[in-house]
Copies of this chain bind each other. A is one copy, B any other.
Amino acid sequence: MAPSQSSATEVVDIHTHMYPPPYITLLRSRTTVPYIRDIPDLGPRLIILPDEVATGRPIGPAYWDVGEKLKFMDTHDINTSVVSLANPWLDFISDPEEGTRLAREVNDWFEKTCAESGGRLYFFGVLPMRAGVDAICEEVKRLKALKYSRGVVMGTTGMGDGPDDKKFEEVWAAIEETEAMVFLHPHYGLPNDVFGPRSGEYGHVLPLALGFPLETTIAVTRMILSGVFGRFPELKMLLAHSGGTLPFLAGRIQSCIEHDGSFRKGEGKSLNVWDILKKNIYLDAVVYSAIGLKAATEAVTSDRVMFGTDHPFFPPLGEETKWVSVQTNYNAIEEGFKDEDSIKVLGKNAVEVLSLKH
């Protein structure tokens, strides 16, 4: 708990993941990335990126057991969590029927689990992103009818050709129609060679700390540049990791648009990144510094930034019960804000923006 946080302060975690049992069964059945396998002396390991096939990362009940999720929440003074399937979602399921079936299974599991949680859990649903526009839109609509669904989680590739793919606009239309929040989250990062010949010596720091945030920034900037927010003005996008780098680079993006002949005429002319930030964009508070958090808040206003943990990722390397990664984000809120804004970012915004009942 952040030092000034009173016990009455509502804390909502809007960036917290699970792999429900049907998804775990799927990962255990696979032999290509993503998959889970038991490695001698290391135990069960999760491999979700091609460059981690040697050892992957440890995976345990924190990924699939709702009891573990609630225990983590209790340990970290979190009242309510809006859980979402972790990357890479269903992006790798090319068979439309399998994708559609899995999306339903996963979403139904989340719905049931949330219903049994005594009001502590809500969820962002997953879409069968390789099953075609109709199947995706149908799941968008089905989710709208589920009591504990509060939006959809997705990666940065849309149906495979990007979030600025014209063919994807039917999906944006369906999402706008249902008023679902879109939780946009990275997975693919950047090609390894951009990190240089010695990136292997630096663990996962470069892809996780720099590749992930840039992936998110590129995706949302492509949406801005292609005019998606002009055509779907009510879209609501919650960007992971405080927008990647968007709050810091928004000025440079806007300046580059204003200085680029390609955007002098037509639709692009009225593009204003700052307007889109304050109209369509919401940010989590998973940025690990007061400096980043203040930039995020100034970019989208303090009504639109919401606490998150990224659980079960970034566990402590030692035996600590309280996670350093969580505490760092609590500290950033404590350092960066006055009381009122702190209360908003910790939970009040999420309750209002996502209509969480209490």
Q: Which of A13-21, A60-68, A324-332 contacts B (4 or more CB under 8 A)?
A: A324-332
| B162-A197 in contact (CB<8A) | yes
Q: What B residues does A252 contact at CB under 8 A?
A: 208-209, 213, 241, 287-289, 292
8 A-B pairs besides A190-B194, A202-B225 with CB distance below 8 A are A194-B218, A204-B260, A205-B262, A245-B249, A251-B291, A258-B324, A259-B314, A292-B295
Which of B190, B191, B251 makes the CB contact (< 8 A) with A288? B251
Q: Could you name 25 residue pairs across A and B whose Cβ atoms are closer than 8 Å?
A: A190-B194, A191-B193, A191-B194, A194-B194, A203-B263, A205-B225, A205-B262, A208-B252, A209-B255, A209-B256, A209-B257, A210-B221, A210-B253, A214-B214, A214-B245, A248-B292, A251-B291, A252-B292, A258-B317, A259-B314, A259-B325, A291-B298, A292-B295, A294-B294, A294-B298
The smallest beta-carbon distance between A234 and chain B, in angstroms, is 23
Chain B's closest residue to A162 (CB) is B196
Measured between alpha carbons, how far is A253 from B206 in the docked complex, in Å?
A: 8
Copies of this chain, tallied across the complex: 2
Q: What B residues does A161 contact at CB under 8 A?
A: 197
Which A residues fall within an 8 A CB radius of B?
161-162, 164, 190-191, 193-199, 201-206, 208-210, 213-214, 217-218, 221-222, 225-226, 241-242, 245, 247-264, 287-292, 294-295, 298-299, 314-317, 324-325, 328, 332
Which of B202, B204, B213, B259 makes the CB contact (< 8 A) with A222? B202
The smallest beta-carbon distance between A87 and chain B, in angstroms, is 16
Q: What B residues does A316 contact at CB under 8 A?
A: 259
The smallest beta-carbon distance between A248 and chain B, in angstroms, is 4
The smallest beta-carbon distance between A342 and chain B, in angstroms, is 17
| A255-B325 in contact (CB<8A) | yes
| B205-A221 in contact (CB<8A) | yes
Chain B's closest residue to A245 (CB) is B245
Q: What B residues does A299 contact at CB under 8 A?
A: 291
| A254-B288 in contact (CB<8A) | yes
Q: What B residues does A162 contact at CB under 8 A?
A: 196-198
Measured between alpha carbons, how far is A248 from B213 in the docked complex, in Å?
A: 10
User: Which 5 A-B residue pairs are closest in the complex by CB-CB distance?
Assistant: A251-B289, A251-B288, A203-B262, A248-B248, A203-B260
| B292-A251 in contact (CB<8A) | yes
Measured between alpha carbons, how far is A161 from B196 in the docked complex, in Å?
A: 8
Q: What B residues does A248 contact at CB under 8 A?
A: 242, 245, 247-248, 287, 291-292, 295
